[in-house]
Copies of this chain bind each other. A is one copy, B any other.
Amino acid sequence: MPVGTVKYYLREGLLPAGTPTSATQAQYGEEHVERLALIRVLVGTGGLTVAAARAALQMIDAPAPSIHEVIGTAHQAIGPEVTAEPEALDRARSLVEAQGWQVACDSPALAQLAAALDACDAVGIPGMERLVGRYAAVAEQLAAFDVAAVPTTSPADAVRFVVAGTVLLEPLLLALRRLAQQDASFRRFEGPDVTPG
């Protein structure tokens, strides 16, 4: 990892300064190395901006007492900032309500859902209602795994898991979906029989 990048992360407050031993020297420990790995992963694989990564790391440094709160704050810090029309938000809210989900009515994920629905409408994806229902059912399964996997050993562990998991399992999920799509399309369109010709 380039030195300049480390300095940049120090400057941006992602990486805490070492304990200074003199005017031009500071001591860094194992914790700093782990922190750097976490930053690289959040910014690199997770695709977070450094601002979002800073917010995420601050949550890890100062864990909120309630894990439910942590998840909400993590979503706030991590998710892309999306603005949606009020009526689109209402649609998203009613969809969530139809699923029987309890979510904060000002959650940024609602705006993200609203924007995604609007986008699908704009290009006219056929059979969206059915698809959304099934996606919601699947999302519920995923969330059950995620939340069940949150360690209860200590608040710090829980926060770290929530932040890292929320960010890192997204690319994992998308990659798996793509691979599964390739398999499914192979089964459906290439089939067991060779393409005639």
Contact = CB atoms under 8 A, between A and B. Distances in A.
Interface of A: 37-38, 40-41, 44-47, 66-68, 71-72, 75, 79-80, 96, 99-104, 107, 109-110, 112-113, 115-120, 122-123, 125-127, 130-132, 134-136, 138-151, 160-161, 164-166, 168-190, 195
Contacts of A180: 99, 101, 136, 139-140, 142-144
Contacts of A126: 149, 151, 161
Contacts of A102: 182-183, 186-187
Given A41-B122, A123-B164, A139-B177, A147 B66 contact: no
A169 to B, nearest CB: 7
B168 A125 contact: yes
A72 to B, nearest CB: 6
A172 B110 CA distance: 10
A45 B182 contact: no
Contacts of A164: 120, 123, 125
A146 B181 contact: yes
A138 B138 contact: yes
Give chain A's interface secondary structure class. helix
Contacts of A112: 171, 174-175, 178
Nearest to A127: B149
Contacts of A145: 131, 134-135
Nearest to A37: B122
Contacts of A172: 113, 116-117, 120, 132, 135
Q: What 8 pairs across the A-B complex have the smallest Cβ distances?
A: A143-B180, A139-B176, A45-B119, A101-B183, A109-B178, A116-B172, A112-B175, A113-B175
Contact of A182 (B104, B123, B181): B104
